[in-house]
Homo-oligomer: A and B are copies of this chain.
Amino acid sequence: MHETPRGGRLHIALFGRRNAGKSSLINALTGQELAIVSPVAGTTTDPVYKAMEILPIGPVMFIDTAGLDDEGELGEKRVAKSLAVLAKADLVLLVVDPQQNPGEVERTLIEAAGQRQLPVVGVLNKIDLLPETAAVNFPLPDIPWVKVSARTGRGISQLKQTMVQLAPKDWTAPTIAGDLVPPGELALLVVPIDLAAPKGRLILPQVQTIRDMLDHDCLTMVVKERELKAAFNSLQKPPALVITDSQAFLKVDADTPPGVPLTSFSILFARYKGDLATLVAGAVAVEDLQPGDRVLIAEACTHHRVADDIGTVKIPRWLRQIVGGELQFEWSSGIELPAHLEQYRLIVHCGACMTNRREMLSRIMTAQAAGVPMVNYGVLIAYVHGILRRALAPFPDVLALLDENEVI
């Protein structure tokens, strides 16, 4: 197994007094029951690293620390060990039980994190035990607070959104495709060269994928679609994975033996920059669209639109054809999604090539909070071309979404 680069797996350090509910907060965030949760104060002693998955944030590393108010000589050592964890964290959750009267120990932690310019989210836990109208006002440095109940799940979505918003800007997913190709095995990349290809270069997602393969000790072959058969013939055994540009998918699908996993750069980057399951669920939701429904086409940046622009021409045409009637399209561009998302039946997001994972996830969660399905260009293109099923074969959990919804 490979050590995931820290830049990939978001490292979240949990701090708080004994019995503030750190371990049960982990369970609430991950939907699992793995941490030892016990009402006896001080269950967690040395910092414990837990590689887990938070939907839709992706793979994270929780660093669960001893109680900040741990007592005695052993307790002091534990607190020092806990604070040392800040060097390894991308983000801090400071868990507070309002009945514990937060003060000096919390201030110490906030200031230590501040010296490292580490973002801290204040998590006001156990709000199910408080009166609805209770005011929360602590004599602490100003940090964002989220009220949650780890027990009932209240506020957990809002907490996830805040965590994503405060995550480091350069945070990425752990890998583009390195988890799909064993070390020493080969990924075959199909890269059409058309007029849109930059002169003398490759486009960035292709370069990033080659680098990701190198970082995972894999072999990479790069060919045009016309040389794909020659590529298969040059190899002793079939590649572990074929990755193609979406525009060549049909030809590559035909030329790739059925047993060889095949996906597209768009699918890989939908996962890398966002959450593949959410975006595929958005494609599934296309099947429920009715004539007259409002659809938002959201682009993260303003770009020069060409005649046959994907966002203004192609996607509306495809969706009209699928629905068999007119739809009400609206377009947005820029950093923020428009207000009142709930008026839309579907959001179609751009490929986010100029956007980082943090921003894309933040938008996905905003759409989720409004109860609106979101798909992106890459996943929608795969869907309308009838290639989504094969392109999802390397991701059985996500593929199951199609089966559940009887999507071809």
Contact = CB atoms under 8 A, between A and B. Distances in A.
Interface of A: 7, 172, 184, 186, 191, 193, 197, 199-202, 204, 207-208, 210-215, 217-224, 226-227, 230-231, 233-237
A237 B234 CA distance: 7
Contacts of A224: 214, 217
Contacts of A219: 221-223, 227, 230-231, 234
Contacts of A172: 200
Given A201-B211, A214-B193, A223 B220 contact: yes
A200 B176 CA distance: 10
Contacts of A235: 234-236
A217 B207 contact: no
Contacts of A215: 193
A184 B227 contact: yes
A283 to B, nearest CB: 27
Question: Assembly of this chain: how many copies?
Answer: 2
A401 to B, nearest CB: 29
Contacts of A220: 221-223
A233 B236 contact: yes
Which of A186, A233, A234, A236 is packed against the most chain B CB atoms within 10 Å? A234
Nearest to A197: B211
A14 to B, nearest CB: 28
Contact of A210 (B7, B213, B222): B222
Choose among A193, A204, A211, A237 the residue with the greatest number of B CB atoms under 10 Å from its CB.
A211
Most buried by B among A172, A210, A233: A210
A172 B210 CA distance: 25
A193 B213 CA distance: 11
A227 B217 contact: yes
Most chain B CB within a 10 A radius of its CB, from A214, A215, A233, A236? A214
Q: Considering the complex of A and B, which 6 residue pairs feature the smallest CB-CB distances, nearest first?
A: A220-B222, A184-B230, A221-B221, A219-B223, A219-B231, A193-B214
